[in-house]
Amino acid sequence: MPFYRYFVHCTCVFLLGLPAFAAAQPQPGSAQPSTGYLVFVRGNPLGRELVTVNRDENGITITSQGRMLAPLNVTVRSAEFKYRSDWTPTSFSLDATVNDNVLQLKTAFADGQAATEGITPGQPVSVKHAVAPRTIIHANGVFASYVALARRLFDNSEEGAEFRIYVVPQVEISVKVKAIHRERMQIGTSVFDVRRYELVYANPSGEVAANLITNDQGGLVRVNIPADSLDIVREDVASSTSRTQIHSNPGDEAVIIPAVGFNIGATLTRPTKSTPGTKLAAVIVLAGSGVSDRDGVVQGVPTLQQLAGAIAESGMMAVRYDKRGNGQSGGRSESATLTDFAEDARAVVRWLEKRPDVDPKRIAVVGHSEGAWVGLLAASREKRIAAVVSIAGPSSTGAQLVLEQQRHALDQMKLTAEERDKRIALQQQIQSAVLTGKGWDTVPPQLRKEADTPWFQSLLTFDPAKVVEDVRQPMLFVHGALDKQVLVEHVERLSDLARKESKSKSVEVVVVRGVNHLLVPAVTGEVNEYGTLPDRNVSKDVTMAVADWLTKTFAAIR
């Protein structure tokens, strides 16, 4: 959800590399056909790997081959992980290239040691490390690494369990199970059970949170690292007809909504108690940047799902949906702008207006973070929207906001003043190049690839002051007092703009104490605290403020 997610240099050095996937574990004496897995960074495809698992009386052998594009530039010609039947490691071999440099490793495990010989890019390697008897083998850039971890998690883990992982040929680290969730995934109309494991890796550079999903046999389905917007997904699960049913409310119903040129996959949440034949008020819930799924999950917090549930409990209908090009929604995510997202919201308004169970005079939008901007933009263009709720909405232009967020993030890092100034200058250069088309020659190619997009250009040029001028509907502005991604000062500036510049006759503000950008109780509110917070529930002070204001506002419209 942070707007700066592309451009602040990553503070984590992932010894783990990227996560890996494999098919369900076979029974003894059987062989699995190769299964393909797709790698995505910020929703963009990066590569593919084929993984095979064989199990016989000698143990388990996992093999893989694949190709990853820039920035990894890894070609895995062959990788082989061997374990005994109890998942004790016996050997590992790798034949690959990284940026056209040879990478060849052979590791033998015996007597509590891992002995590796081979060639890494630029130099030979010959090392020995003490390792745990049942350590799990992990090779950077080889996604099959996670097959054994998936099985170990499925067979033996409970919350608080800890496993050792040997990152060949560097170091042994630990991974801890923070939580286990039983969920469902949907492909087309078929639904199957999965388990989602919240993991915390103890890297030398600091803790890293991840989500690992297995099927009901312990086979790898998906891995996600939220901090880097990274997903590695089994091919069928990566299709546009699939989605993870991670979070649900009573009264949830899967629906398909027609938009311009494609369909939107959505969930409609009805009140559990409503009189048949009653026309209900309806509320569209909009996600922030970096969040593509309809539940709005960030660091295990399903913001949109919980907002929708609270709205439905108050007697209204709620709609949340996958952003275009994600989940079960069609369209192209790589070319989408804030204006496109606003048009998608308007398409949902038109769909609701035609429903016999919706009161067309009582349709509202509730947007979180970037979604607040989308909601305001949609309301400025759509008279059929009767009310607007902005949650954690920024008041500055996108260009100013990104720099503000980067400065704050850099303040949390141990950098010299010179290094900090260099990064800020690079950010300013990138933003200038995005806006003018000039100055790309000295920007690293990968950063240009990430920044030179329609979405980022629309973000940088967005000015809420100009949009608010055209909003006539009642507006509520909600903000967490501990929000460190969009500082609480923004809510006063944005609401002042609404009072002075808009045509709205009703502008209200609610600041919720002790709540961060994810709308959950926090201590500092900083991003690096998200993965450690025990409470993953959106604050009732937030949901009540939104639901009560909508109820009051809609009552005046009757």
The HSE-up count of residue 308 (CA atoms within 13 Å, CB side) is 28
| Strand partners of residue 256 | 265
- Kindly state the average pLDDT of the residues 412-418: 87
Lowest mean pLDDT among 96-100, 129-133, 229-233, 410-414: 229-233
pLDDT for res 29: 44
Choice between 230 and 75, residue whose per-residue pLDDT is larger? 75
The 8-class DSSP code of residue 331 comes to S
Model confidence at 23, in pLDDT bands (50, 70, 90)?
very low
Lowest mean pLDDT among 19-23, 99-103, 198-202: 19-23
Element (H, E) at 438: none
- Kindly state the average pLDDT of the residues 323-350: 91
Q: Residue 529 in 3-state DSSP?
A: helix
Lowest mean pLDDT among 27-31, 252-256, 391-395, 397-401: 27-31
pLDDT for res 290: 80
| Strand partners of residue 224 | 211, 231
Show the domains of the chain with their CATH numbers.
30-242 (no CATH), 247-396+463-557 (3.40.50.1820), 399-455 (no CATH)
pLDDT for res 156: 81
pLDDT for res 239: 61
Which amino acid would we find at residue 456? F
Which amino acid would we find at residue 557? I
pLDDT for res 329: 86
pLDDT above 70: residue 25: no
Number of CB atoms found within 10 A of residue 156's CB: 11
Cα separations (Å) of 500 from 169, 401, 467? 62, 22, 13
Torsional sign, CA 488, 492, 497, 503: positive
pLDDT for res 42: 67
239-287 pLDDT tens trace: 654 555 556 788 888 889 999 889 998 999 999 887 787 899 999 999 9
Lowest mean pLDDT among 86-100, 234-248, 353-367: 234-248
pTM (two decimals): 0.64
| Strand partners of residue 106 | 93, 117
527-536 pLDDT tens trace: 888 888 888 8
3-state helix, strand, coil in the chain (%, to 5): 25, 35, 35
Report the first-to-last Cα separation within the chain, whole angstroms.
36
- Kindly state the average pLDDT of the residues 462-480: 97
Q: Residue 36 in 3-state DSSP?
A: strand
Q: Residue 402 in 3-state DSSP?
A: helix
370-393 pLDDT tens trace: 999 999 999 999 999 999 999 999
pLDDT above 90: residue 463: yes
Q: What is the mean pLDDT of the chain?
A: 87
pLDDT above 70: residue 506: yes
pLDDT for res 528: 86
- Kindly state the average pLDDT of the residues 93-122: 93
Q: What is the spatial distance between Cα 302 and Cα 135, in angstroms, rounded to a whole number?
A: 33
The 8-class DSSP code of residue 308 comes to H
Q: What is the spatial distance between Cα 235 and Cα 9, in angstroms, rounded to a whole number?
A: 30
- Kindly state the average pLDDT of the residues 29-53: 78
- Kindly state the average pLDDT of the residues 409-436: 92
pLDDT for res 355: 95
Choice between 76 and 188, residue whose per-residue pLDDT is larger? 76
Q: What is the spatial distance between Cα 253 and Cα 243, in angstroms, rounded to a whole number?
A: 14
pLDDT above 80: residue 189: no
What string of H, E and C letters represents the secondary structure of 412-459?
CCCCCHHHHHHHHHHHHHHHHHHHHCCCHHHCCHHHHHHHCCHHHHHH
Contact 276, 511 (CB under 8 A): no
pLDDT above 70: residue 7: no
